Amino acid sequence: MKKIFIDIDDTILDFKKDSIEGLGKVYRQYHIPVTNETIDVFKAVNQRLWKSYELGELDSEAIFNQRFGLIFEQLGFEIDDIREVDDFYRQTHIDAYSVLPNAEALLQALFSDYKIYGVSNGKTGRRRLHQAQLSHFFDGIFLSEDMGYQKPQPQFFEYIASKIPNYQKEQVIMIGDTLTSDILGGNQYGIPTIWYNPEELENHTEIVPTREVKQLMEIPAVLMQLFN
């Protein structure tokens, strides 16, 4: 049976929404204004650190130990316990499970024809999919924190392959919203990739997805084309 590796955060679950809502709680707790500017500082720092994680330059603990120190420094606020702030931030959305529009409909459309495997460069995807009552659509969930590898490392995909019975590489497609982890990882591993790009972002990288979609419900037709 054909198989799909599908990213969890911001492809199935609306992690951006949940994380920004959690950030607002942190800022209010520490009396920092919640504005577009202060949110953008978080986004820039957070994105830079997670890019380093994808490159294997940092582990997640290093991110948690410095992230809010860098953010508060840029905002001009002093902080005594950086890790305490980060723990509070992650606790605010550890059980958040906002589902992207049409994500459940997509899983329902794919469920009978494909084996579906959720993949994530995080540690809470399994819990949050369960909270969202979507776990039953998945034949397996693979998280970087459990595996010791992260997208886009080839070892991430090789580990998953080693855990799937009757695995055949030519019967797998990777779907995700992030060029530098999902698409680059799939490309480097040698499988077709579908870039979910709802915001119609311009691709300024040399990373080329096999196909690009703007809406989740475009994916079933694209899969049929790629597998045939």
Q: Is the pLDDT of residue 191 over 90?
A: yes
Res 96: pLDDT: 85
Phi, psi of 196 (to 5 degrees): -85, 110
Task: Map out the domains of the chain as residue ranges.
Answer: 3-14+99-227, 15-92
The correct answer on CATH 3.40.50.300 for the domain covering 3-14+99-227 is: no
Question: Which among 79-83, 90-94, 129-133 has the top mean pLDDT?
Answer: 129-133
pLDDT of amino acid 123 = 82
Please list the active-site residues: 7, 9
Element (H, E) at 137: none
Rounded (5°) CA angle 7-35-121: 15
Q: Which two tokens stand for residue 155?
A: 């070892």
125-162 per-position pLDDT tens digit: 899 999 999 999 999 999 998 998 999 999 999 999 99
The answer for 11, left when phi > 0, alpha when psi is -120 to 50, beta otherwise, is: alpha
CATH topology of domain 15-92: DNA polymerase; domain 1 (1.10.150)
pTM for the predicted model, two decimal places: 0.90
| Beta carbons within 8 Å of 68's beta carbon, 6+ residues apart | 26, 79, 82, 85, 86, 89
